[in-house]
Amino acid sequence: MTHQDHTMVRPWRHIQRRKSRQIFVGEVAVGGDAPITVQSMTNTDTRDVAATVAQIKALEDAGADIVRVSCPDEASSLALKDITAQVNVPIVADIHFHYKRGIEAAENGAACLRINPGNIGSDERVKEVIRAAKDNNCSMRIGVNAGSLERDLLDKYGEPCPEAMVESAQRHIAILEDNDFFNFKISCKASDVFLAVAAYMQLAEVCDYPLHVGITEAGGLTSGTVKSAIGMGNLLWAGIGDTIRVSLSADPVEEIKVGFEILKSLGLRHRGVNVISCPSCARQQFNVIETVTEIEKRLAHISTPLTVSIIGCVVNGPGEALMTDIGLTGGGKGTHQIYIGGKTAHRLNEGDKSIIDHIVQMVEQKAAEIESQNAA
């Protein structure tokens, strides 16, 4: 049963997405009725082509739809030509202040420019960047950030606030629109969850451009994941957000993993295995924590959407298994129950076969069956 089917019988699961116009980052659609895309950013020196390509490929393997790279100097923006030739995902060039970097990036393979047109100088310079973007079928992202608002807006409002951030966004929007450029998306980020959510809520009311959603500088893997899930989860649940980036002080691959987990938890997009597991207690009939940790590690290569329940005892195990593709419930005397498609399938004795090996094999077989059916 698909997510759409679920909402027909469970209307409380339905999320009405905000209607936005659609743009393209390379061949990837953003906005409109396109799936919400997940992106990250490299942290290599962009001039180091080999290292940057390697990291982009790792992000591709994790499921990234779009990857951004920083272009602080001419050598970095020119390196995009070699980088884009070796990767499959569209590349966003992160540009600050110098208009020539934007022109160079557009001419060397960037599919999108992350740039604030009001920060790059005269009207003529803005026109040059827009001309380069148009000539090379390059979209843009206006990136408003609470930490770098214009001085006059800070003077006007006294501090970063939702109104100041939205006014900044509207300024940049007007510049692009006045130059007959509409192929762009907008972000309105802050490290403060309340500020970011309020800003995005207001921005969503005053424009119909696609929104790139994120909590900037969210922190390390644990704290940043929690902050991002709360802030972005609120927005996505309200239907706001067309592409997301989780900003973590961690391996960029973790950003993709967390991004997909947020979308999966809201039923907005599904990729890979969704493991439902108990926290374990004295009733567990096998070591739940070790089992789940190893199963998640060994199933990380599966991209087919599947749900697996791993529950240590019969209190909640059978009920959870009813809603999953494959389920394991711990039973007494070393005998555990396996469920397939919500129905009892067979029992597994601890002495017969490793629980982990058995579940991994079942999931891999199920994924292969689904992929074969989809290809038919």
Query: Is-contact 84 91, C-beta < 8 A?
Result: yes
User: Is 0.85 surpassed by the pTM of this model?
Assistant: yes
| 7 is a domain residue | no
**Per residue in 252-307, pLDDT tens?**
999 999 999 999 999 999 899 999 999 999 999 999 999 999 999 999 999 999 99
pLDDT at 3: 47
Q: Cα(295)–Cα(273) distance, rounded to whole angstroms?
A: 10
pLDDT at 123: 87
Identify the DSSP state of 340. E
Query: Could you tell me if 295 and 259 lie in one domain?
Result: no
**Per residue in 187-220, pLDDT tens?**
999 999 999 999 999 999 999 999 999 999 999 9
Query: How much is the mean pLDDT over the chain?
Result: 94
224 vs 189, 221, 252, CA distance in Å? 14, 5, 12
Angle, to 10 degrees, between the axis of helix 193-206 and the axis of helix 162-178?
40
Picking from 265, 292, 307, the residue at the C-terminal end of a domain is 265
Least confident of 3-12, 54-63, 108-117, 125-134: 3-12
Query: Could you tell me if 182 and 250 lie in one domain?
Result: yes
Dihedral of the alpha carbons of 347, 349, 354, 359, in degrees to the nearest 10: 10
19: phi then psi, degrees, rounded to nearest 5: -80, 120
| 43 is a domain residue | yes
Question: At 286, which CATH number?
Answer: 3.30.413.10
CB atoms within 10 A of CB 318: 16
| 220 is a domain residue | yes
Put residue 138 in one of left, alpha, beta given phi > 0 → left and psi -120 to 50 → alpha.
beta
- Per-residue burial over 336-346, b = 16 or more CB atoms within 10 Å of its CB, e = otherwise: bbbbeeeeeee
pLDDT at 97: 81
The residue segments making up the domain with residue 248 are: 18-265
Which residues does 350 contact at the CB level (< 8 Å), separation at least 6? 286, 334, 335, 336
Count of the separate structural domains present in the chain: 2
Percentage of the residues of the chain whose pLDDT score is greater than 90:
88
**Per residue in 43-84, pLDDT tens?**
999 999 999 999 999 999 999 999 999 999 999 999 999 999
| 147 is a domain residue | yes
Question: At 241, which CATH number?
Answer: 3.20.20.20
**Per residue in 120-143, pLDDT tens?**
878 899 999 999 999 999 999 999
Query: Could you tell me if 291 and 337 lie in one domain?
Result: yes
| 3 is a domain residue | no
Which residues does 28 contact at the CB level (< 8 Å), separation at least 6? 37, 65, 66, 89, 90, 111
Query: Could you tell me if 281 and 254 lie in one domain?
Result: no
Query: Could you tell me if 250 and 349 lie in one domain?
Result: no
Query: Is-contact 89 147, C-beta < 8 A?
Result: no
